[in-house]
Structure 1
Amino acid sequence: MEEGPFDSEQSELQWWDRLPSVPAITTLLLRQQNRRRWKPKSLAHMFARFPRLQEVHYEPWREWNFKQGLTDRQYQYLFKSIQRFNGNLKRLVVFENFNQQYPRSMQRFPFGVEVSRRDIIRKPAPAVSRVVALTSLKLEHLAASFIVDASHFFNIEPSWEWPNLASLVLTSKLLEPDKSPTEIGAMLQAAAAVATKMPQLKTMEIWNGRKGVAALFKYQVFHDVQQARIIWRGTWEYIMEPSVVRAWEAFVQQHHGWRLDLTQELLDEAAIKSHGDAIGYLMLSGQVIRPISLQQIRIEQRALKGVGQCQND
C-alpha cells in the first residue's frame, strides 16, 4: 500500500485528525471498484470524522502472503476505532473480494507475488473475527464475508449481547464438502448458543462459496405465520446431527414457542464458477455485497474464463 501524497503513515493520519467533524455524513460506500486502495488505518481516522455515521459498505480486496498479516492487524485497528468513535453505526457490510485465478496469473510475470497453494484459500485471522464480533454488539445488521470466519466469531465472552441485531451474515471455510461434519456441527451449535444473545434476530446466514462449492446454513423466522425455518442449500448433501437440530429447536422454543422446520436444497456444482455465482445461487437474504459489485465479479469471471481458454488453445 503506497503512501500516496504523504511522506509517512503518521503524517497521513495526522492530516485526517486535523479535519473538522462532518455530522452530515451518515452512509459510506467503498466498493471493490475504487480509484485507490484505502488503508484500513486511514479509514479508521476518516470514519472518526463522521460522528453520525449509520451505515458502512466496505469491499476491500484480499492481500497475498505476508501482506495479509499486516492488513489483518490494520483491520483490527479499524474495527476498534469504529467501536470508539462510531457509536451511531447500525449497518456494517464488509466483503473481502478475491479471485481464485489471480495466483496463477501473478506467477506468470517475472516480478509476480509467489503464492503457495495453501494461501489460495483465505484463512481469516481469529483476532479479526473477534474484534468484528465486538464491533457488532450495537448493530442492527452485520454482513462480514471472507474477512472473518463464523467459527471464530461465535467464540464469544459470556457477557456479550446483541440487543438490536436482526440480521447476521457470515462466511466460514468449514462449509466445504471435505470438511468434518463434526466440526461443522460444533460451529452450528455454537451459532445457536450465540443466537440466544440476540433477542431481535430474524435471520442468520452462514455461507461459503468458490468455484464448484456453494453452501448456506440459514435460520429465519416468519412472525406472520409464527414459524421458524432452517434451510441447508448447497452443492452437497449435509445431514445435520441431532445435537445441532436439538440446539436450534431449544432456541426457537425458548424465544418464540414455535416449531422449527428443516429444509434441504441441492445445487449443481458445475453452475458455480466463482464466489459471485455462489451468492446468486444461494439466494442470500441479507445484503453481503453491493449489486453492481456482484455483477462485476461475475462479468470478470466470464472474461477470465475466456482468457484462459485462449491461452490453452
Structure 2
Amino acid sequence: MISWNRFSAEIRLMVLETVLHNGCNLASIATVSQEWQRVIEKHNFSRIRLTPSRLPGFRAIYRNRSLVRYIWFCLELEEYDCTGCSPRDPELWDLSEMDNSLITKGLEDLFSVLSVWQPGGDLTLDISVYSPSDSQHGFKYLTFEPDTVSETQDEHRLVERPMLSKPCSGAGGPSATRTFEAICKVFGEIMSNSPFDNDEQERRWWQQLPLVPIVTRVLLRQQTRRRWRPYTLTQMFTRMPRLQEVHYEPWKEWLHTDIQQRWTDEVLQTLLEAPFLARLRKLVLFENFNTVYPASFGIFNSDPRRITSASMGRALVNASLNLDSLSASFLVDAVDFFEETRGRCLKWPNLRSLALTSELLRPAKNPTKLDDMLRAAAATALNMPNLETMELWNGLEEKAMLVRYRRARLRRPATIEWKGTWEMTLSDPVIEAWDAVALKYSNRACVTIGKLVVTATPIRSHGDAIRLLGLLEMVIRPVSLRQIVRENTILEEMGED
C-alpha cells in the first residue's frame, strides 16, 4: 500500500478538500494523521454556531481559539402556538420579560467568554434573534441560516422545507394575508419594555460588561425581524474597541406616519453620530421592506419604502468621512447625501467604494433632477482621491436601474455607465462632470456605456433587481439576498402579490 506521505502536497490537498465537503463524519477521520487533524480542526472551528445554553462549554475552548473566524450567536426566543401568533393586546407585540432576560443574560455570558480572547486575527460576530415558532405560523417561508460568502452556498439545505402551505388560522385564516397583529408580533422591538426602565439604566448595564477586542466585524442580518434599538446597538458597538466593519439590515418601520418617520430618523441618526463610527472601515446599511405586508395594516397602510430626509443624508455624510467603503440602501436617498456635501470643504481620503439608492432612478421621474444629482455625485467624487467605484441604483417590481462610475485601472479607461430595464440617456453636462473626475485621477476622459437589460424572468422585488443589476459592491449579505428573493417568489406563488 502506498504511504499517504508519498503523494504530492497538491494531491493530498485535493483529497482533504473532497473529504471536507462530502458531508462525512469529520471527527472520525481526524485521527488519520496529524496533517488531517490540523486541516479538519481548522475547518471545524472556523465557523461556530452558539446559543446561550452552549456558552459554558464554549468557554472551555483554549487550544483552538485562534482557529475561530466566525460565530453565529442565535438568541432563540420562547416558542408560541396559534393562540399567541397574532395577539390582539398591543402589550404582547414586543418581546416578553422572559425573552428580554434571555437576550441580556446571553449577551452578558457571550461578552464574558469573548473578553478573555487575545485579539489577533479577525472575528465576525453574527447575531440573530428569532423564535423557532416564527416559521410555523404566519411566516412559514422564513429561514434562519448562518451567513455565507456566496448566494449559492448551502442553498440545497432549503429544498426539503414545505413552505407553500397557508398561514395558520391565528395569523390570517384561509386568506394568505397576514394580520396586522401577526406582523407586529414578529417585528417587536428588542429590550424596549424590559429589563430596563430607561436608557440610563441600559447604559449602565452595558458599561459593566467587559470589552471584547477580539470582535472586528458584526453582522445584524434581515432574517432578524425583531428590531434592535439604535441606542442598544450604539452601546453594544462601544464595547468592541477593534470593531472595523458593520453590516446592519434593519426592516422598515411599518407605521408610516409623519410623526413615526421623524422619530425613526432621529433615533437612527444617533447611531450614525456615535463615536464608534470613527474607527470603522466599512459600513453596510440595508433597510429591507416587503410590498405585501402593508396590505395588512388597513388605515395605517403605507408605501413599502421609507420617505428619506435631509437630516439622515447629513448624518450619513458625516459618518462616511473616515470610511474605506460605504453602502446605504433605501435608508438614505443619494439626493440627500450629495446635497449635504454642497458648499462644504469635505474630503474622503480613504473611501474606495460608495453605493447609494435613489428614487430618481425610476421611469418618468424628473430628468432635470436626475441630472443635477449625477452632477452633484461627480462633484463629490472629486474629493474622493481613492474612489474606485460609485454605484447609484434603484430597484423594485419590474424596474431596475444602475449608474456606475469605475476608476481607470491597468490599461482600461474610467467608465460611466448605465444599466437597467428602460432606456436612459446621460446628458452632456453629466458626462462632462464625470470626465472631470476621470481626468483628475487618470488623465483620461470617461468611456460612456449603456446597457438595456431584457430578462425572461420577472423582477418580483428589490432582491431580483439587485441580482439583475450585478452590483459590484456587496449592498446586502448574499444569504439575505437569497432569502428576499425566495420570500417574494413564494408569496407570489401563494397569490400574495
TM over 0.5: yes
Structure with the larger RCO, 1 or 2 (CA within 8 Å, 6+ apart): 1
SS in 1 for 2:311: helix
Matches within 5 A, 1:26-37: 26-34=216-224, 36-37=226-227
- Partner letter of residue 483 of structure 2? Q
Measure the CA separation in 2 of the matches of 1:204 and 1:245: 15
Offset of 1:35 from its aligned partner? 6.9
Task: Give me the whole-angstrom Cα distance separating, in 2, the residues matched to 1:18 and 1:234.
Answer: 51
Matched, 1:52 2:245: no
2:385, 2:472 → 1: CA distance?
Answer: 19
Q: Any idea what SS the aligned residue of 1:169 has?
A: strand
For residue 402 of structure 2, what is the aligned residue in structure 1? 216
Given that residues 32 and 97 in structure 1 are in contact (C-alpha distance below 8 angstroms), is that contact kept between their aligned partners in structure 2?
yes
Kindly provide the amino acid, as one letter, of the partner of residue 121 in structure 1: R
Pairing of 1:68-79 with structure 2 (within 5 A): 68-79=261-272
Q: Which residue of the other structure, out of 188, 192, 208, is the alignment partner of 1:18? A: 208
- Aligned with 2:450: secondary structure? strand
Deviation at 1:85, TM superposition (A): 2.8
* Residue segments in structure 1 that go unaligned for 5+ positions in a row: 108-112
- What is aligned with 1:203? 389
State the Cα deviation string for residues 13-51 of structure 1 (Å, max 9, x = none). Answer: 332233232222111010011274211111011111112
1:241 to 398, 405, 427: 427
Q: Aligned partners of 1:191 and 1:35: how far apart in 2? A: 33
2:279 counterpart SS class: coil
1:61 aligns with 2:251: yes
Q: CA deviation at 1:266?
A: 1.2
| Deviation by residue 1:251-270 (Cα, 9 ceiling, x = unmatched) | 21122112311111112377
Query: In structure 2, which of residues 469, 493, 497 is the aligned counterpart of residue 282 of structure 1?
Result: 469
Question: What corresponds to 2:481 in structure 1?
Answer: 294
Structure 1, 17-26 or 242-251: larger mean CA deviation:
17-26
For residue 150 of structure 1, what is the aligned residue in structure 2? 334
Identity %: 46
Name the aligned partner's letter for residue 98 of structure 1: F
Q: Is the aligned partner of 1:97 residue 2:288?
A: yes
AA matched with 2:478 = P
Post-superposition CA distance 1:82-123 (Å, at most 9, x none) = xx234321000000000111111333xxxxx7124xx33321
Query: What letter matches 1:39 in structure 2?
Result: R
Q: Tell me, in whole angstroms, the C-alpha distance in 2 between the residues paired with 1:306 and 1:5.
A: 41
* Per-residue deviation, residues 62-90 of structure 1 (Å, max 9, x unmatched): 00213332221111000100xx2343210
The answer for the alignment partner of 2:350 in structure 1 is 164
8 Å contact kept, 1:62–1:68: no
Larger Rg: 2
Q: In 1, distance between residues paired with 2:472 and 2:335?
A: 21
1:9 Cα deviation after fit = 3.6
Alignment CA distance shift 1:86-1:51 (3 Å): farther
1:158-199 C-alpha deviation (Å, 9 max, x unpaired): 221100000000000111102111110000000000000100
Aligned to 2:279: 88
RMSD value, Cα: 1.8
Q: Distance in 1 between matches of 2:476 and 2:418?
A: 21
The letter for the 2-side match of 1:268 is: V
Larger CA deviation: 296-305 vs 221-230: 221-230
- Which amino acid in structure 2 is aligned with residue 6 of structure 1? F
Whether the 8 Å contact between 2:225 and 2:251 is mirrored in structure 1 is no
Q: 1:49 to 1:86 in 2, by over 3 A?
A: farther
Equivalent of residue 271 in structure 1, options 426, 439, 458: 458
Task: Give the 3-state SS of the residue equivalent to 1:94 in structure 2.
Answer: strand
Distance in 2 between the 1:217 and 1:68 partners?
Answer: 28
2:474, 2:443 → 1: CA distance? Answer: 28
SS of the residue 2:273 aligns to: helix
CA–CA separation in structure 1 for the residues paired with 2:206 and 2:284: 23
Q: How far apart in 2 are the matches of 1:203 and 1:32?
A: 25
Q: Distance in 1 between matches of 2:194 and 2:462?
A: 32
Contact 1:226-1:258 within 8 A present in 2 as well: no
- What one-letter code is carried by the residue in structure 1 that aligns with 2:367? P
Alpha-carbon displacement from aligned partner over 1:188-216 (angstroms, at most 9, x marks no partner): 00000000010000000000011121010
1:188 to 374, 383, 386: 374
Answering whether residue 224 of structure 2 is matched by residue 38 of structure 1, we say: no
TM-aligned CA deviation for residue 6 of structure 1: 2.4
The alignment status of 1:306 with 2:493, answered yes or no, reads yes
The alignment partner of 2:376 has SS state of helix
